Amino acid sequence: MKRSLINARRNFWYCFYYFFARHLPVSYRYQPLGKFGKMCRAVACRRLFRACGQRVNVERGANFYTGWEMEVGDDSSLGINCMLPFDLKVGKNVMMGPEVIIIGENHRFASIDVPMRLQGYQEYPPVRIEDDVWIGARVTILPGLKIGNGAIIGAGSVVTTDVPSYAICAGNPACVIGFRGGGSRNAVGSISHKQPSETCSDTP
């Protein structure tokens, strides 16, 4: 297909999403409008994302820039008013609370002679969220990280390092407070570089 036609289609679905579908009600309220909003957002995202699984739920207000490199697995959801990078990789059965922020890049700041806004961006590999992850409300995830299979991230946490599979993490910086299935929090301790040998509960 001609590139100009592909671009025209993308631009159409981009406008459809950002000017219309994104503003329709959340999927679980004001029926039948909620279901209509959910359907419109899903239709647009199937055309915008590089890969979009079955039964993906994109909630009201979700922002993913162009979304051109996004991959979202079956039965996953992107939460209300989330702010996501355009190249996020999300596995299957992922749940996301409202107002989650996932950051895809940092400003460069090495030089003190040039304003930081003119130093460009440091690039990272895409943030990867594996299968069956629950991300609580207002979580922030920093660039380049991997959230392992089955992990839970508590509300309001700031995730600064990779999260191991089945870990329950919380706090700022987020650290392991337990493991699903009853594993001891001392199994790996903190996931924060700043507290290598401590757990959250050891921190004053």
d(CA 19, CA 15): 5
**Interface with ligand COA in residues 169-198 (CB under 6 A):** 170-171, 177-178
Q: Which helix (H) or strand (E) holds 35?
A: helix 33-48
42-52 b/e (C-beta count within 10 Å ≥ 16 → b): bebbbebbeeb
Nearer to ligand COA, 88 or 170 (CB): 170
- Kindly state the smallest distance separating residue 195's Cβ from ligand COA, in Å: 14
Binding piece for ligand COA, criterion CB under 6 A, among 11-19, 80-88, 100-108, 153-161: 153-161
CA-closest candidate to residue 167, choices 67, 155, 62, 181: 181
Tell me the helices (H) and strands (E) count for the chain, helix number first.
Answer: 2, 17
Q: Is 193 part of the annotated catalytic residue set? A: no
Binding mask 59-98 toward ligand COA (x if CB under 6 A, else -) reads: ------------------------------------x-x-
Q: Mark the segment that binds ligand COA (CB under 6 A) among 31-39, 63-71, 81-89, 152-160.
A: 152-160
Task: Give whole-number Cα distances, 190 to 60, 177, 178, in Å.
Answer: 34, 8, 10
Chain contacts with ligand COA (rule: CB under 6 A):
95, 97, 136-137, 152, 154-157, 168, 170-171, 177-178, 201
